[in-house]
Structure 1
Amino acid sequence: MAKLQSGNGVQWKDSRSQRGTVESLAEHESSSLGSASELNGFANTEIQTDRYGFIGGAQQSTGENADIPPDVLRQREAKWLDMLNSWDKWMAKKHKKVKFRCQKGIPPSLRGRAWLYLSGGKVKKEQNQGKFQELDSQPGDPKWLDVIEKDLHRQFPFHEMFVARGGHGQQDLFRVLKAYTLHRPEEGYCQAQAPIAAVLLMHMPAEDAFWGLVQICEKYLPGYYSAGLEAIQLDGEILFALLKRVSPVAHRHLKKYKIDPILYMTEWFMCAFSRTLPWASVLRMWDMFFCEGVKIIFRVGLVLLKCMLGSQEKLKACQGQYETMELLRSIEPRYMQEAFLVQEVIELAVSERDIEKEHLSQLRRWKETHGELHCKSPPRMHGAKAIMAAEPPSRQDLKQNPTIIVEVPQTTESKTEKGKKMTKTEKINETKSTSPPPNPYPLPSNPPLPSDKLSPSESQHLQEDTPLQGSNQSLSSAEHDTYL
């Protein structure tokens, strides 16, 4: 059984149980580039970067998943652009279609923008113009700055954005985390926020990542990062109760050996599986998480527990608490593989109603055994539709603003020629020379996509949606350029 510190962390009676928990977020240095000399030596060698920007480590892509054909990817990009241009109408009238497209996977070139719209971060940013810049310019609380600085190099040390100490990735991560401690000084900083912010920064600029972090902490996972970790403990009990229905065998086993949920699910939930799953699976889970809310996190946890502990045959090798914990720390890759996991998560019948019903039940039990909650967090929002309904945005809030505006200066020669009278032939030639070249890859206004009209019997093809990689014909061919 775990007992809590007064700060944002977990203290354990058994030192062996520290691995795989929020406290161990700071203990992964064995797999990181720990010193400047190691980093320099690494940088001077020839490195292989995968499509997601990883140059090594357990989350580097092996390239086993097939790419989506460029024409299909471009159709999806066009459909997402259409949705983003009329976001309020799509969310109000065609939310099921939005959810379905999130389940299929958001195109990489638009993932960051889509996450910001789904989470409500776009609206928050527009309604608080200049807020991030104001927070960014402030010095911050020294007690949090020191802890944040120590955590910077531990976040995805094998990703090209964060591999260099003091590089632009770590600088932006520091800015975002510092800004949040100023935005919510009563909450401060929790180590599990760092990987959340880092994933956001891989897909969007620092200001957008800040508002994405705000929405996750306040709407999707309220109370998770507060002192005492009461919210995560409650959700651990909810997960355990739901497991009894999903996999009675796994539930009995964990109960038999008195394995508290907080021992195995803390890092899963607080980091939204960003440190656990292969990267292709992380992105697909986050696509659904931003759309449907915390039930996706619960479903992933339930699927993994069911797969690892769901039969007597599998339990033969882990007759004991230590053996079971070791098993849950090294989940079989086949169960975390993108196509398998996505399909299992979609098909698992656990709704937000089930979660809220169990939440009320566990809250009553908590009050009987622990008294009132010390942390009064706002109610949890179950996904994009609930967030938009709670805080209806204006059309101006949802307007897409270009990130890069290019102004082409007029040359002296062209100004001189404008003053001259041109013949009819010259005018025709002038029109031809100044007209923009036709787009060799025009986006269809309403491109047909047969896969959007899948019947229930064809839903199995969802699992064939693999991590999306851009092409020469896509809007943006690089995963990390999604905000351009």
Structure 2
Amino acid sequence: MANSHFSKIDEYGFERPDDFDYETYEEFMSHYLVVLARRAKKWADLVGEGRSLKRNLTVKRYVRKGIPSEYRGKVWLTVSGAEKMKDDSGPNYYLQLLSGDIDQDIVDIVKTDLPRTYPDNIFFNAAADHQRQLCNILVAYAHDNKEVGYCQGLNYIAGLLLLVTKDEETTFWLLKVLVEKTLPKYYTRTMEGVITDIAVLEELVRLKIPDVHKHVQDVGLPWAVITTKWFICLFAEVLPIETVLRIWDCLFYEGSKIIFRVCLTLIKRNRSSLLESTDFATLAECFKNITKDSLVIQCHDFMESIFKTPGSLPATTISRLREQHSQQKETRKQTEVLR
């Protein structure tokens, strides 16, 4: 650390952990800064001077190679469908939510969670304005979508969106498109969507990395213990921040299948160490450590690997597995009723 050119605090206000590998990071950044400069010029040509951005193969390729930080909010809003949601809702919808009748119970619950949101981030820790903005976003969303309301996990997603976009209203619409379109039923009291997708991941591991699936099953480690945080927080607080944002670039464009690609890549790359962990505690610790894989710091290389390492992963396969899980769940319910 003493000889590092990089601060203990990253550009988004997060404190780097004590075991952060500055040497690997500096080596990576010496190459990645050149990539960023090249990508920034290409994006400027694509979206500069008020040009409209439409979903096509060129934009998809650009997104996979990374969106420069200065364009992220705008691009996420457009490619995800959040901008259309905003336009369809009419002008000033967000402000109308905040100026309408507010349920004080929701405000109180949100305020209870605010100090727990990225407590090590300097912007949320020291700047009351960030907490106020985050409170507005979460309260507005709870009143907009009464079925979801406010549930834990949303604060982490909205908090990181706010750090990236630096804009309350943009964050609100991005949160809305994530919860209602990209990740349906993730952020509900039953977490039905998360439970389903953990089951889908387990089946994908069985199909693509069968020895790891059998080993985890033999040890008796539930997949929910391993991966719930990966799904709920979309890898925030799990992977390095720039890697998380590169994942989110693709998530907003390509949808939830990106989450499975990341999970499968982490597991497949660390197959040997997982198989060597022979008891519950060491296997659980190994799953925790694979998110510190040396490649995850090198976000550009990591993102290339998620489109190669897992192999083919059509959206139709994920849809089929989700439907299969739902049918199995319904069958179990009916069996329990008959008992």
Does TM-score exceed 0.5, indicating one fold? yes
- Offset of residue 267 of structure 1: 1.1
- Offset of residue 339 of structure 1: 3.4
The answer to whether 1:351 aligns with 2:296 is: no
Report the secondary structure of 1:162's partner residue: helix
The answer to whether 1:336 aligns with 2:296 is: yes
Q: Deviations over 1:321-368 (max 9, x none)?
A: 222112212223314232342122111321211101111211111111
Matches within 5 A, 1:231-380: 231-308=193-270, 310-311=271-272, 314-316=274-276, 318-331=277-290, 332-337=292-297, 338-347=299-308, 348=310, 349-371=312-334
Contact 1:135–1:183 (8 Å) recurs in 2: yes
Q: Structure 1 residues 370 and 57, CA, compared in 2 at 3 Å: closer, same or farther?
A: farther
Q: 1:172 aligns with which of 133, 136, 153?
A: 133
Q: Structure 1 residues 77 and 160, CA, compared in 2 at 3 Å: closer, same or farther?
A: farther
Contact 2:154–2:187 (8 Å) recurs in 1: yes
- Offset of residue 143 of structure 1: 3.0
Q: Which residue of 1 aligns with 2:46?
A: 80
Q: Structure 1 residues 58 and 240, CA, compared in 2 at 3 Å: closer, same or farther?
A: farther
Q: 1:52 aligns with which of 12, 29, 34?
A: 12
Matches within 5 A, 1:171-250: 171-204=132-165, 205-250=167-212
CA distance, structure 1, for counterparts of residue 36 and residue 138 of structure 2: 37
- Offset of residue 57 of structure 1: 4.2
Contact 2:39–2:66 (8 Å) recurs in 1: no
- Offset of residue 70 of structure 1: 7.2
CA distance, structure 1, for counterparts of residue 190 and residue 105 of structure 2: 18
- Offset of residue 116 of structure 1: 0.8
Q: Structure 1 residues 113 and 260, CA, compared in 2 at 3 Å: closer, same or farther?
A: same
Bigger Rg, which one: 1
The answer to whether 1:121 aligns with 2:82 is: yes
Report the secondary structure of 2:150's partner residue: coil
220-229 or 149-158: bigger deviation = 149-158
Q: Deviations over 1:162-196 (max 9, x none)?
A: 1226x111111100001111011222111111111
* Percentage of matched positions with identical amino acids: 28
Structure with a larger share of its residues in helix: 2
- How many pairs align? 317
CA distance, structure 1, for counterparts of residue 179 and residue 40 of structure 2: 33
Q: Deviations over 1:448-480 (max 9, x none)?
A: xxxxxxxxxxxxxxxxxxxxxxxxxxxxxxxxx
Contact 2:148–2:188 (8 Å) recurs in 1: yes
CA distance, structure 2, for counterparts of residue 103 and residue 212 of structure 1: 19
Q: Which residue of 1 aligns with 2:4?
A: none
Q: Structure 1 residues 244 and 146, CA, compared in 2 at 3 Å: closer, same or farther?
A: same
Contact 1:181–1:189 (8 Å) recurs in 2: yes
CA distance, structure 1, for counterparts of residue 44 and residue 97 of structure 2: 36
CA distance, structure 2, for counterparts of residue 74 and residue 257 of structure 1: 47
Contact 2:94–2:169 (8 Å) recurs in 1: yes
Q: Structure 1 residues 58 and 124, CA, compared in 2 at 3 Å: closer, same or farther?
A: farther
CA distance, structure 1, for counterparts of residue 19 and residue 321 of structure 2: 33
Report the secondary structure of 1:186's partner residue: coil
- Offset of residue 294 of structure 1: 0.3
AA at the equivalent of 2:12: Y
- Offset of residue 159 of structure 1: 2.5
CA distance, structure 2, for counterparts of residue 61 and residue 147 of structure 1: 37
AA at the equivalent of 1:76: K
CA distance, structure 1, for counterparts of residue 248 and residue 334 of structure 2: 34
Contact 1:307–1:335 (8 Å) recurs in 2: no
Q: Which residue of 2 aligns with 1:136?
A: 98
Q: Which residue of 2 aligns with 1:107?
A: 68
Q: Deviations over 1:285-326 (max 9, x none)?
A: 011111111010111111122233x23x6422x212222112
Q: Which residue of 2 aligns with 1:436?
A: none
- Offset of residue 149 of structure 1: 1.1
AA at the equivalent of 1:188: G
CA distance, structure 2, for counterparts of residue 175 and residue 361 of structure 1: 39
Structure 2 stretches of 5 or more lacking a match?
1-6
CA distance, structure 1, for counterparts of residue 34 and residue 119 of structure 2: 28
- Offset of residue 103 of structure 1: 0.8
Q: Structure 1 residues 70 and 183, CA, compared in 2 at 3 Å: closer, same or farther?
A: closer
- Offset of residue 272 of structure 1: 0.9
Q: Structure 1 residues 74 and 240, CA, compared in 2 at 3 Å: closer, same or farther?
A: closer
Report the secondary structure of 2:71's partner residue: helix
The answer to whether 1:155 aligns with 2:117 is: yes
AA at the equivalent of 1:336: V
Structure 1 stretches of 5 or more lacking a match?
1-46, 373-484
CA distance, structure 1, for counterparts of residue 35 and residue 302 of structure 2: 22
